[in-house]
Chain A
Amino acid sequence: MSERLMQLEVLRYNPESDGETRFQSYEVPCRDEWVVLDALNYVKEHLDPTLSYRWSCHMAVCGSCGMMVNGEPKLACKAFVRDYPEHIRIEPLAHFPVERDLVTVIEDFVSKLASVKPYLIPKKEQPLSSGEYLQTPAQLKKYKQYTLCINCMLCYSACPEYGLIPAFIGPAAITLAHRYNQDSRDGGRNERQEVIAQQVGVWECNFVGACSEVCPKHVDPASALQQVKVASTMDWYKEHLMPWLNK
């Protein structure tokens, strides 16, 4: 079992005492199989207990440990130290305000997620006695990929439009809206359209595609957003050219 001495350069920010962010270096003996999260835990346990960061599952399913590793949005538990040179720069996820050290303010994302109504809105109310919804494998496959989002916000860090236009609803939220729109059990598309068909909805997206490239769960949010654009465009023409069609 070999070790490698690595230099972690970590962004620090204490809101109670700092006016600016600064970087602090730590020397960490890293085991070959470690991930960046292991290195951070070593720092916190042995070198500097004041370092703050979010993490939980350590297996890329909870979405808590998103951070910038050498300028790239990564899950700290999925960034293997063996893939990096000796010097690793760790910063909070880009495009989010810094709460403290590596902890970002995520309220903007959470409220945007809630605004797209990410839950099944049945086409019509049905009593429990009518039984469960039936769904064919084909119907499931239509939206399955978009259910895999773990809300890690790496896509928001990668998206340059979100960096330039903070009001943009963003990849994950719009993808989740699309996930429900594509679900055969759902009837809430019109409600969600009110939010995602706005200018700050899908129309701020320019298909840079960075979101899909960094997504650790291969959700491919970029594809969802383009499909929303296509659907919204067809909607628009139907609404404006054939207004007699019932919504």
Chain B
Amino acid sequence: MAEQVNRKPYVREVSPTRWFLRDRRYMRYMAREVTCLFIGAYTLMLLVGIARLAQGPAAYEAFLAALREPASIVFQVLTLGFALYHTTTWFNVTPKALPLQIGEEFVPGGAVAGAHYVLWALISVVILFLAGVF
């Protein structure tokens, strides 16, 4: 005996602009994503610096002076924070995208991420040295 089944599924809408506000996990994700705003803006600032460098000593001095503005310092401090958050989140997930199988076992994710941190420290020290900081 076949009964007529009346289906009327109820669709629960998801807000395209506020979905991330309802969960700490999603907020952390959005924080990671907005690092691109600061890193992107900072990269454009570097580009401006190179442009001013090419335009001569007066232009470059003006660039350095602009760097000293309070707004610029605040921006750079924020960028440093966001850049560090990008770096840590990036290194921590790299082993998931590029698993390394040696023999039968996979290299533990912690080891792969750890290697990135070590390399990062080395590169940073080298750059600081080349910049004449020490």
Q: How far is the CA of A158 from the CA of B104 in the complex (A)?
A: 32
Is A98's CB under 8 angstroms from B10's CB? yes
Is B7's CB under 8 angstroms from A99's CB? yes
Interface size on A, residues (CB 8 A): 35
Is B6's CB under 8 angstroms from A15's CB? yes
Interface residues of B in 1-23 (CB under 8 A from A): 6-12, 14, 16, 19-20, 22-23
Which residues of A are found within 8 Å of B20, using beta-carbon distances? 160
Q: Is B99 an interface residue (CB 8 A)?
A: yes
Q: Is B58 an interface residue (CB 8 A)?
A: no
Of the residues A13, A71, A137, contact of B22 by C-beta under 8 Å? A71
Is B10's CB under 8 angstroms from A21's CB? yes
Is A226's CB under 8 angstroms from B97's CB? yes
- The smallest C-beta distance from A189 to any residue of chain B, in angstroms, reads 17
Q: Is A105 an interface residue (CB 8 A)?
A: yes
Residue of B nearest to A16 (CB): B6
Which residues of A are found within 8 Å of B29, using beta-carbon distances? 160, 206, 208-210
Residue of A nearest to B98 (CB): A230
Is A13's CB under 8 angstroms from B19's CB? no
- The smallest C-beta distance from A95 to any residue of chain B, in angstroms, reads 7
- The smallest C-beta distance from A11 to any residue of chain B, in angstroms, reads 9
Interface residues of A in 202-219 (CB under 8 A from B): 206-210, 213
The verdict on A141 contacting B19 (CB below 8 Å), with A207-B93, A208-B29 known, is no
Of the residues B8, B11, B16, B101, contact of A164 by C-beta under 8 Å? B16
Is B7's CB under 8 angstroms from A15's CB? yes
Is A137's CB under 8 angstroms from B104's CB? yes
Q: How far is the CA of A160 from the CA of B33 in the complex (A)?
A: 14
Q: How far is the CA of A142 from the CA of B97 in the complex (A)?
A: 14
- The smallest C-beta distance from B36 to any residue of chain A, in angstroms, reads 12
Residue of B nearest to A91 (CB): B12
Is B25's CB under 8 angstroms from A210's CB? yes
Q: Is A57 an interface residue (CB 8 A)?
A: no
Is A141's CB under 8 angstroms from B7's CB? no
Q: Is A152 an interface residue (CB 8 A)?
A: no
Residue of A nearest to B95 (CB): A223
Residue of B nearest to A162 (CB): B14
Is A15's CB under 8 angstroms from B97's CB? no
Q: Is B70 an interface residue (CB 8 A)?
A: no
Is A142's CB under 8 angstroms from B14's CB? no
Residue of B nearest to A222 (CB): B96
Which residues of A are found within 8 Å of B7, using beta-carbon distances? 15, 99
**28 A–B pairs (Cβ distance < 8 Å), ordered by A:** A16-B6, A18-B10, A94-B12, A97-B10, A97-B11, A99-B7, A137-B104, A138-B101, A138-B104, A158-B25, A160-B19, A160-B26, A163-B14, A163-B19, A208-B25, A209-B29, A209-B93, A210-B26, A210-B29, A213-B25, A220-B96, A223-B97, A223-B99, A226-B93, A226-B96, A227-B99, A229-B97, A230-B98
